Amino acid sequence: MHLEHHHDGPGAVSADARRPDGARRALRIGLGGPVGSGKTATVAALCRALRDELSLAVVTNDIYTREDAEFLLREAVLPPERITAVETGACPHTAIRDDISANLEAVEDLEDEVGPLDLILVESGGDNLTATFSKGLVDAQIFVIDVAGGDDIPRKGGPGVTTADLLVVNKTDLAPYVGSDLERMAADAKAQRAELPVVFQSLRSEAGVADVAGWVRAQLAAWTA
Amino acid sequence: MKAGRITGAASLEAFCRGRLHTAGLVSASLAAAAVLGVDPAALDAAADARTPSPALRIAGRKLGRQLMRAARATWPLGELEALAREFPKGAHQPVVLGLAARAAGLEAVDAAYCAAYESVSGPASATVRLLSLDPFDATGVLARVAPEVDRVADRAVEAARRVVDGGVDALPAASAPLLEISAEVHAAWAVRLFAS
């Protein structure tokens, strides 16, 4: 009876787990990390890995273009109506942490228009090591760095590296060419993150995005449990 | 700025003055009328009628939707909930601003001041970002137009009082065609630093 009461109610304010009609909303996972670390490529690979088993959609954030959304559209990882671009018009972390309203509108509109959805991936624009998502916007966050950006990044830490629910160290195939020490990166990440998980990934390898996709499935299982 | 109309503090001040007495006065009057309890749906239609540019209408509703989310989280009020239900994609920002002020227990003149100040503070901070104008010069511009903000807020409250008895046609309809035209041109740019 209580749910009936909400049928014609106004939309959710932020992270409410229920939609106005009483149904559980989609799990929202954020992907952040420095410019060029492979966030969009990881999102594209996740879409290919999960689209046959889940109903999913993507929100991209670019500062002043729609480049990332257009890449995903060109790669045809999802039908176009399942990809929404938010133009942040400011430092990307502002739109995923300090003023999350434009991104909340994007995820709510996706659920209204192409729902019901199991999962929405919210990709931040490339940013610095302090960028993190608000809990009002996402339920879990992945921080993507790459070996070519310097193997001292895990040691430097910062909120993204230290607190993200999953740290992805991308482009491991490039390590020999840029002189990055993967073992050192793993040890530094362990020191910064204790028990929080870390995935080393090369999207060019056979395993590709499999480990990250497995982590996403586990998050979804916990969300719907 | 790209068209070379704003190049420094002096031209910013002229721009702010023009925006304040046109779009600023209309927004302030809408916000003040909402505080006085005028039907927000009628005010929203009046805002549409006073906004020829489709790009500005869309931007106004987006801003209204964002402000609505913040207002509902902060000051729960039945009238805000009702407006959110009636306009799920957003009512015009000054209308939401006025209703939020009403929910917060403020007076019509308070909401009018917010809207009038917003009409000049936005261009000033944009100039700091886009033109690298000295932020102290931008603040100086705002200080110099402050007496005019006072007068616009007073005029807006007078107009809002007339609306209570005479309906929304009593709202001012001052317009600035160049603002409307440049909003349409801006919306068509491929690379934009601001959403509106």
Rounded to the nearest angstrom, the minimum Cα separation between B166 and chain A is 31
Residue A38 annotated as binding site: yes
What ipTM was assigned to the predicted interfaces of this complex?
0.73
The parent domain of residue B92 ranges over: 9-187
At A19, the pLDDT band (50, 70, 90 cuts) reads: confident
CB atoms B84 and A10 under 8 Å: yes
Question: Which tens digit of pLDDT belongs to each residue from A93-136?
Answer: 788 888 889 999 999 999 999 989 999 999 998 887 778 899 88
pLDDT band at A8 (very low <50, low <70, confident <90, very high): low
CATH of the domain at B29: 1.10.4190.10
Residue of A nearest to B82 (CA): A10
Total count of domains within chain B:
1
Beta-carbon separation of B85 and A9 below 8 A? yes
Confidence of residue B114 (pLDDT cuts 50, 70, 90): very high
Confidence of residue B137 (pLDDT cuts 50, 70, 90): very high
Residue B137, strand partner residues: none
Query: Per the domain annotation, does B192 fall within a domain?
Result: no
Lowest mean pLDDT among B31-40, B101-110, B122-131: B122-131
Q: Note whether residue B136 is domain-resident.
A: yes
Is residue A159 part of an annotated ligand binding site? no
pLDDT of residue A6: 42
Q: Please state, in angstroms and rounded to a whole number, the distance separating the CA atoms of residues A197 and A185.
A: 13
Q: Which of A79-88, B57-66, B152-161 comes out lowest in average pLDDT?
A: A79-88
Q: What is the residue whose two structure tokens read 């000033």? A: B124
CA distance linking residue A156 with residue A97, whole number of Å:
21
pLDDT in tens, B19-39: 999 999 999 999 999 999 999
Provide the pLDDT for residue A7.
42
Instruction: Give the start-to-end residue ranges of the domains of chain A.
Output: 25-224
Q: Which CATH architecture has domain A25-224?
A: 3-Layer(aba) Sandwich (3.40)
